[in-house]
Amino acid sequence: MDTKVLYVTAVLIAAISGGYYYFGGKSNKLQADSSKSMTYSAEKINLTQTDEQGKLSVRAKVDRLEQDLQKQTSHLVNLHASTYKDGVVDATFFAKQAKGIDDNEKVILSDQVVATKLMRDGKMEFHTQELTAFPKRKEIETDKTVTVLSPQAEFVSQGLKANLNDGQYEFFNIRGKYEP
């Protein structure tokens, strides 16, 4: 048999097979975006993140992470995170549960939440059951009861809004004691 005939036959078989594969049932096709619907999980994660100048900006430890790429959400168990400013720890966060939304633009911490802001004259701790953080803006807020402990005061607030960049805090319905 002539090699030209063999070549034409092979090309014809390949074209028919490719056409069947391509035009066949959708369930048989490989879909490039199928990986977006996957959910990933990992355990015992240590994260170190730097800013645009290469300075340390975030360090975190998580016992378990589940991430859904299609919904752009994540679920974390036992989150311990520290944010840095000029290479020094600026604030720390702990929560037994955390849920990241919109690729972690918004993070909802829940279950025994402790947020600590380190200051020149000590630290300010916020204890609550739920706290929403906006990591890129360095803002936190909640409408839940917050117990605040600082060197000058101990009080309970029914909600909180704070900008950790400039130290502006807004508390609601405060009860407690203050010592200047």
C-alpha–C-alpha distance, residues 108 and 133, integer Å: 6
- The DSSP letter of residue 93 is E
pLDDT in tens, 76-129: 999 999 988 888 898 899 999 999 999 888 999 999 999 998 888 889 899 999
Residue 162 within any structural domain of the chain: yes
Domain count, the chain: 1
CATH classification of the domain holding 115? 2.60.450.10
Residue 125 within any structural domain of the chain: yes
* pLDDT reported for residue 52: 85
Residue 25 within any structural domain of the chain: no
Residue 29 within any structural domain of the chain: no
pLDDT above 60 (res 30):
no
Supply the range of the domain harboring residue 66.
Answer: 41-178
Produce one character per residue of 49-79: b if its CB has 16 or more CB atoms within 10 Å, e if not.
eeeeeeebbebbebeebebeeeeebbbbeeb
Residue 57 within any structural domain of the chain: yes
Length of the chain: 180
Residue 132 within any structural domain of the chain: yes
C-alpha–C-alpha distance, residues 78 and 95, integer Å: 6
> Is the pTM higher than 0.85?
no
CB neighbours of 60 closer than 8 A, spacing ≥ 6? 45, 46, 47, 79, 80, 81, 82
Residue 152 within any structural domain of the chain: yes
Residue 12 within any structural domain of the chain: no
* pLDDT reported for residue 119: 84
Instruction: Kindly state the average pLDDT of the residues 140-166.
Output: 91
* pLDDT reported for residue 1: 46
CB neighbours of 152 closer than 8 A, spacing ≥ 6? 178, 179, 180
CB neighbours of 53 closer than 8 A, spacing ≥ 6? none
